[in-house]
Every structure is written in C-alpha cells, then in structure tokens.
Copies of this chain bind each other. A is one copy, B any other.
Amino acid sequence: MRKASITIKEIARQLDVSKSTVSRALRDSSEISEETKKRVIELAESLNYSPNPIALSLLRNRTQTLGIIVPDIANPFFSTAIGGVEDIAYSRGYHTMIYQSHESYERELADTRHIAMRRVDGLIVSISSQTENHDHFIELQEQGIPVVFFDRVSESTPSHKVRVDDYKGAFEATEHLISRGCKNIAHIAGPANLSISRNRLRGYQDALTQHGIELRDEWVVSSEYNQAGGTERAYQLMALRNRPDGIFAASDRIAIGVHWALRQLGYRMPDDVALVGFSDLSISSLLDPPLSSVAQPSFEMGQLAATLLLDLIESKGTPAAFETRVLTSNLIIRKSSMKDLVGN
C-alpha cells in the first residue's frame, strides 16, 4: 500500500490559503509577503514536503531524464562512459536511464521506442553491431528528442558525435608492431557496419602500405567485439600456412580472446606473436603477459557526450550546427608487443 505523499493542497488546507499561494511561496516568488512565505516554508519542511516530479513532467513535457543505450553495461568501457554521463547529468539536475541493446538491432529499436514513449529528454547512444538501418534515431529527432552518439557513431545521422581518433590509434598500433620487427601483421577487425571497425581497419592498412608492406587479404578477418570471436579468429589465423607474427585486434575483448587462444596453442607472446588491442580495459594490464592497447578516455567521452546533449536540450530555439568531437587515443605499450629487436 502506497502511503499518500503530502501535497501542496494539504499545506494550503492547513494554512488556510490557496494552493497558488503555497506554490508561489515555495518558489520564492516576489509577490508573496515574507511572513506568508515563512509560514508556508516552515510547514512544508516540518511535513517534509517534496514536490511531485511527475506533475511537473506532465506540465512541462520534460522529464529531467537522459536515456543512454549501450550494447552491454558489463563492458568496462561502457560502464565507465556511463559514469561520465552520470557525473555531468547529476550536476545539472538530470537523471539517466540505462538501456542495453545486447548488440541486437531489434532490442535497440525497442529501446528507442520505449524512450520515445517515456518522454525522455534526450538520448546518448553507442549503436549495436548489428544495426545497419539508422532510421529510428532520425525518428526520435523528428519527435524533438535530441540524440548524441559516442564511440560507435552513426555516420548517416546528423547530430553531435563524440569519438576517438580510431584511424590514428590503429595506425600507431600497427606502426608500433612494425617497429618491433613484425613482418606478418594480421588484423582482427570488428563488424563492418560500425564506422569504428572500418576506421581501425583503414589505419591498419595505411600503416602497412606507408611502410611498404604488402596487404594480404588472408590476414584480415572480422569478428564480433567479444572474447569468443577473438579466440575463434586466432585459431583461424594461426592455422594459415603463412602465420602472422603480429596481431592487431580491433578491441581488447577480441584481444583477450586471442591472448587465451595463443596460450592454449603454445605460442609465446611477444616472441612468437606480438599482440595489441584497443580500449585499454583495466583487466588487460593483468593478463600475463600484460596486453598492449590503444587507450580511450572513456569517462571523458561520457562527460562530453552528456554536456553536448544537455546543451542541445536546454538551448530551445537555437539549433547550433552539429559537431563531431574527436578525442585523442593513446598507445599503451606493454609486454605483449615488446618483441626483442634482433635484427637491428
């Protein structure tokens, strides 16, 4: 049984004034006498009144709530990004509702519908790997709900975007493998419908060609962004007649799967195979050998996305031009890629 909360009407009754007066007194309006204000505020506090946000939402058609869709909150990259969003949101009086797409397009669609129904004020999203059609985000925007993408952004949707320089990160990672003497460098890419996958792939390719190394199709395979995919692809790569001596994985989760597979197969890292991942999850440094990785500022990405979204929400009339903020990644070199330089 839900106990009735005390309302403005109840205060008005006890003080024998109108509810308008109570409302104004609590909002410290100038057209209420100091004395009445004091009486109202005192009673409100003693009754420990708190205004009903639902009534406010109905009135203003605003919920003071941000939606956020990520593929998986158990992924540390996303959970810390969510932390960044919450950090900003709380400080500006908003709350966040967290949705998981579980890398499913259908689920993502259902989430956006729910967000529209729930009248959330805005959405921050990192799209699922199975999403090819982005119309549901456009629809949301047409309903007046602004959308900001982070990490896995939609290229076809005009909006604010926050991402890291995937191309540059991948380029540097690959260049690092080259500089450590790797000759046969493979890449395990992410799903091709995500722009981050394509950019990281391009970074890998350009680094090789720029160093005069021939691209070989058999050394580029694709995987979901998870551990099982990494393991599977590693088995596939190491079974090649021309096996790689360096692997750049498009994510740490993939790299962890590779790491596991290489140990299973008896390869030594970095001597037999040098390995680099992407994201620098905190667990990556705990592996043996510790994993080299391209670090992304996940918390800051969440903060920035939230800031952009809130500005969009609160600047009613002025639809400033959409911008894409590109944060810098940072290659963290650990033992998994520190192959001895024999030749040099």
Interface residues of A (CB under 8 A from B): 1-3, 5, 50, 52-55, 57-58, 61-63, 73-74, 76, 79-80, 82-83, 86, 95, 97-98, 100, 114, 116-119, 142-145, 256, 259-260, 263, 283, 286-288, 316-317
Contact = CB atoms under 8 A, between A and B. Distances in A.
Given A53-B117, A114-B95, A143-B5, A74 B63 contact: no
A308 to B, nearest CB: 17
A95 B142 CA distance: 24
Q: Which 7 A-B pairs have the closest CB atoms?
A: A288-B288, A2-B144, A74-B79, A3-B144, A54-B57, A283-B283, A98-B98
A97 B97 contact: yes
24 contacts: A1-B317, A2-B143, A2-B145, A3-B142, A3-B144, A5-B143, A50-B117, A54-B58, A54-B63, A55-B58, A58-B58, A73-B73, A73-B79, A73-B82, A73-B98, A74-B79, A74-B80, A74-B83, A86-B100, A95-B97, A98-B98, A260-B286, A283-B286, A287-B287
Contacts of A118: 53, 95
A3 B140 CA distance: 11
Given A76-B74, A100-B83, A52 B1 contact: no
A88 to B, nearest CB: 14
A80 B52 CA distance: 32
A101 B292 CA distance: 32
Contacts of A1: 144, 316-317
A2 B76 contact: no
A83 B99 CA distance: 10
A101 to B, nearest CB: 12
A195 to B, nearest CB: 26
Contact of A3 (B54, B58, B143): B143
A250 to B, nearest CB: 19
A260 B283 CA distance: 11
Nearest to A58: B54
Contacts of A53: 117-119
A259 B55 CA distance: 53
A80 B256 CA distance: 20
A58 B283 CA distance: 45
Contacts of A83: 74, 100
A290 to B, nearest CB: 10
Nearest to A50: B117
Contacts of A114: 95
Given A5-B143, A95-B114, 11 more contacts: A1-B144, A2-B145, A3-B144, A52-B119, A53-B117, A53-B118, A54-B119, A73-B98, A283-B286, A287-B288, A288-B288
A319 to B, nearest CB: 8
A143 B5 CA distance: 8
A114 B97 CA distance: 14
Contacts of A316: 1
Contacts of A63: 54
